[in-house]
Structure 1
Amino acid sequence: MPKPLKIAVDVRDLRLAKTGTRTYLEELYIEFKKLETDGLRFCFLDTSIPVYTGSNKLLKLTEHARYQLWKQIVLPLKAFFKGCDVIFCTDNFVPLVHLGYKTIPVFHDAFFFETPQNYGRLWLWLYKKTAIPAAKRSPFVVTPSAWAKKQINHYTGIGNEKLVVIPEGPKTLADNLNAEDANQLLNSFSLNPQSYLLHVGSMFKRKNIPALIKAFAEIKASGYPGLKLVLAGPTPSTQTDTDYQQIINSIADAKLQQDVIITGYLSNTQLGLLYKNALVYVFPSVNEGFGIPVLEAFSYGLPVLVANNTCLPEVGGNAVLSFDPFDTDDMSTKIKLVLDDKQLRDDLSSKGIERLKLFSWHNTALQLIEVFKKAV
């Protein structure tokens, strides 16, 4: 019987990732387990040492050291002793050393190069000294969109022949609360079904949420008395990349404290319920590597509006209405166009459901397996 192909999957990131990178790893973990056969085995490798996620500077430095120890020594040894053929890491960093295996990293975007001011100097240094050289030693580097591939090639010099575009899928959400609990959740935010615009995501600067609030203020000034804006998602843990205070100030300046709802962290069930009852989804980000919430909104049949830049038109295709994220007049005009035209909302909804058929984590996993096979 031939030896099975053994893939080591680094799952340590599940201990600290909170946004799209966590979704990526969680969903692939589920799909990889389903796809195991006698000829294909996955080894999910994790650390036994607790991961520090606090703000103490000394402990954060210690965590940086632990992270590199994991990536460059512990993970390689674990994969070697388990006889793995490939190490797959979804968080940019793969081992520099190769002990009889190949490495495949995922580069989700080029944010480290595009907005270096949003990252610590040590982290940037480690990225350039370990992640980039290790990626160049890898047979392939996975990236989620043609836009991300273009940017990564531009900033890192990694060849286009090595960069493999594999799209992502929507996060698996549950909206199976009973009617009483669902009403209780909506009531807790003073919301009615089909009466709010929705944005989902952490409050990073690139999300451009203050501009969305300004556009919403313009919409409210022209009518729509019952309309609200829901900003669903946690605040960033880093002080360098958060727009939280500016968001609070923008809400106060526009006197929209009763009409803009900041939910904070939500469970998957709660988030699913907010998608299910929203009227329109708006994504004004000025930089994305993929944009998973676009697919999540499609899965709930929401009409979707996105910024006309980076990967968002690529992901949304003809199923979205786009606007200039740097022009709040254009943003508010496009949102009102959708609010005022039920036929347009229905058309966008139908197109979104159809476009979603092109994306799934099952397909992502299958395409990754083909890359693993080519690598060895």
Structure 2
Amino acid sequence: MRIGVNATFLQRPATGMGQHLFHLLKGLDAYDNENTYILLSPRFRHSSIGRFPQLSERFQNIEVVSALRRFGEHFESLWWEQVGIVRACQKENINLLHFPYFAAPLILPAPTVVTVHDVIPLVMPEYRARARSRMYSSLVSMTVGRADAIITVSEYSKRDIIRTLRIPEERIHVIGNAVDASYRPITDARVIDAVRERYGIGPKYILYFGGFDLRKNVSRVLEAYARLPATTRAEYQLVIAGRLHLLGHRLYPDPRPRIRELGLDDSVVVTGQIREQDKAPLYSAATVYLFPSLYEGFGLEVLEAMACGAAVITSNLSALPEVAGDAARYVDPYNVADTSQAIEELLEDADEREELGRRALARAQDFSWRRVAEQTLDVYKQLAR
């Protein structure tokens, strides 16, 4: 079987969907010895160079030049999803097409699988405030509804898909995420010290790492930290890690003005982009990892932290309890006082932190890219019958 995969997000390797696709392909290569995979990529006017994993000869890269390069990124993306990839599938004799993100062509060129990680634009109104966003959400909701099978990453997302897209339950397959084997407890003091020095981090810190759009709730992270006693803040820095993205966009507020307003300049470190090899040491050395997100289809950062043995405080909403299980302390993410109290109590209780770390490592073992690949291939086989 010739399986076509929309490989657009390999051009965005730092994103969650880019990481997911990268590791899914590696898993399929290791597990599937029968099928041929055609990785279909658009060459937009401002395309980044794709980060392709090292794969066997059964994986072929096909690049398609955009026909709308003069009209800008949004038109190019729409052309690729509705026209370019359809033509590429016909030319390459594709037997099955996988869109690994929330989109699909109106005219399906082959039996089609779509991975819907979440339906944020459909359940959070602020993410569809612009007319262009509403039009695109309406289009992809219709096209995805025509797909032969839907893969999603949690039971929570499955329920949201059924409710918002009206897709029958039997067409939806829940296949969880996983993290790379590099996410593991790092105990080498020299490695940890080098990472802390690189980003200006002290010996004790509370870590937030997980993006800066509104639903990530960073403003309340800062407010919860500000409520801690001054002596606690003097002992434990708050580290806000990750690249500040789309500064000035209403959905991506810059946290630094809020840090100044709260008088936290001396105790909050904003790191900027974290190198891939520095993530595991950063998670491992944190006294507490804090992630009170308002909405997650899965919550990959929580799984990363758990795989490193971190003591996790996270939200009691959306898919996060499903992912973390009994390996996290849960808070109401809208309640700053609740979050602040949880931080203070966990900082003061080394035994609870150690217990959560043990549970986190055990829980993280339930998620593997081999399992993701096996279950994804099962969906392909069902459509091929």
- Quick check: TM above 0.5? yes
Query: Counterpart of 1:296 in 2: which secondary structure?
Result: helix
The CA distance in 2 between the partners of 1:172 and 1:199, in whole Å, is: 21
The CA distance in 1 between the partners of 2:375 and 2:45, in whole Å, is: 32
Seen in structure 2, the aligned counterparts of structure 1 residues 300 and 11 have a Cα distance that, compared at 3 Å, is: same
1:213 is matched with which residue: 213, 218, 222?
A: 222
Corresponding residue of 1:87:
97
The CA distance in 2 between the partners of 1:241 and 1:106, in whole Å, is: 24
The CA distance in 2 between the partners of 1:17 and 1:116, in whole Å, is: 27
Alpha-carbon offset, residue 159 of structure 1: 1.7
1:350 is matched with which residue: 355, 358, 363?
A: 358
1:14 and 2:10 equivalent? yes
> Alpha carbon RMSD of aligned pairs, Å?
2.4
Alpha-carbon offset, residue 110 of structure 1: 1.4
- Is the Cα–Cα contact under 8 Å of residues 136 and 158 in structure 1 kept in the other structure? yes
Query: Counterpart of 1:168 in 2: which secondary structure?
Result: coil
**Cα deviation 1:311-337 (Å, max 9, x = unaligned):** 111111111110111111111111122
Pairing of 1:277-288 with structure 2 (within 5 A): 277-288=285-296
Alpha-carbon offset, residue 368 of structure 1: 0.8
Query: Counterpart of 2:238 in 1: which secondary structure?
Result: strand
- Is the Cα–Cα contact under 8 Å of residues 310 and 357 in structure 2 kept in the other structure? yes
Corresponding residue of 2:179:
170
Task: Letter of the 1:223 partner, please give it.
Answer: T
Q: Which runs of 5+ in 1 are unaligned?
A: none
Alpha-carbon offset, residue 24 of structure 1: 1.1
1:236 and 2:245 equivalent? yes
Pairing of 1:1-376 with structure 2 (within 5 A): 5-16=1-12, 18-37=14-33, 39-51=34-46, 62-99=72-109, 101-119=110-128, 120-129=130-139, 131-171=140-180, 173=182, 182-193=192-203, 195-221=204-230, 223-237=232-246, 239-244=249-254, 247-376=255-384
The CA distance in 2 between the partners of 1:174 and 1:166, in whole Å, is: 20
Task: Letter of the 1:24 partner, please give it.
Answer: H
Query: Counterpart of 1:167 in 2: which secondary structure?
Result: coil
**Cα deviation 1:260-312 (Å, max 9, x = unaligned):** 11111112012222112211111110111100011111111111111111111
My pick for the range that moved more, 9-18 or 269-278, is 9-18
- Is the Cα–Cα contact under 8 Å of residues 183 and 307 in structure 2 kept in the other structure? no
Seen in structure 2, the aligned counterparts of structure 1 residues 348 and 287 have a Cα distance that, compared at 3 Å, is: same
Q: Which runs of 5+ in 2 are unaligned?
A: 49-67
**Cα deviation 1:229-272 (Å, max 9, x = unaligned):** 1111122327131121xx22321122111211111111201222
**Cα deviation 1:175-219 (Å, max 9, x = unaligned):** 8899767534312433234x1111111111101111111111112
Query: Counterpart of 2:227 in 1: which secondary structure?
Result: helix
- Is the Cα–Cα contact under 8 Å of residues 87 and 94 in structure 1 kept in the other structure? no
The CA distance in 1 between the partners of 2:43 and 2:220, in whole Å, is: 43
My pick for the range that moved more, 255-264 or 90-99, is 90-99
Query: Counterpart of 1:261 in 2: which secondary structure?
Result: strand
Alpha-carbon offset, residue 59 of structure 1: 8.4
The CA distance in 2 between the partners of 1:249 and 1:322, in whole Å, is: 28
**Cα deviation 1:356-376 (Å, max 9, x = unaligned):** 111112211111110111112
Alpha-carbon offset, residue 133 of structure 1: 2.2
- Is the Cα–Cα contact under 8 Å of residues 191 and 281 in structure 2 kept in the other structure? no
Query: Counterpart of 1:42 in 2: which secondary structure?
Result: strand
Seen in structure 2, the aligned counterparts of structure 1 residues 76 and 17 have a Cα distance that, compared at 3 Å, is: same
Query: Counterpart of 2:277 in 1: which secondary structure?
Result: helix
Query: Counterpart of 1:9 in 2: which secondary structure?
Result: strand
Alpha-carbon offset, residue 32 of structure 1: 2.1
The CA distance in 1 between the partners of 2:190 and 2:25, in whole Å, is: 33
Query: Counterpart of 1:161 in 2: which secondary structure?
Result: helix
Alpha-carbon offset, residue 126 of structure 1: 2.2
The CA distance in 1 between the partners of 2:335 and 2:273, in whole Å, is: 29
Query: Counterpart of 1:92 in 2: which secondary structure?
Result: coil
Query: Counterpart of 1:318 in 2: which secondary structure?
Result: coil
Query: Counterpart of 1:322 in 2: which secondary structure?
Result: strand
The CA distance in 2 between the partners of 1:177 and 1:357, in whole Å, is: 19
The CA distance in 2 between the partners of 1:172 and 1:50, in whole Å, is: 35
Seen in structure 2, the aligned counterparts of structure 1 residues 50 and 272 have a Cα distance that, compared at 3 Å, is: farther
The CA distance in 2 between the partners of 1:343 and 1:45, in whole Å, is: 50
The total of aligned residue pairs comes to: 362
The CA distance in 1 between the partners of 2:183 and 2:171, in whole Å, is: 37
Task: Letter of the 1:47 partner, please give it.
Answer: P
- Is the Cα–Cα contact under 8 Å of residues 17 and 101 in structure 2 kept in the other structure? yes
The CA distance in 1 between the partners of 2:23 and 2:267, in whole Å, is: 34
Alpha-carbon offset, residue 60 of structure 1: 10
Seen in structure 2, the aligned counterparts of structure 1 residues 314 and 261 have a Cα distance that, compared at 3 Å, is: same
The CA distance in 1 between the partners of 2:242 and 2:297, in whole Å, is: 18
- Is the Cα–Cα contact under 8 Å of residues 122 and 137 in structure 2 kept in the other structure? no
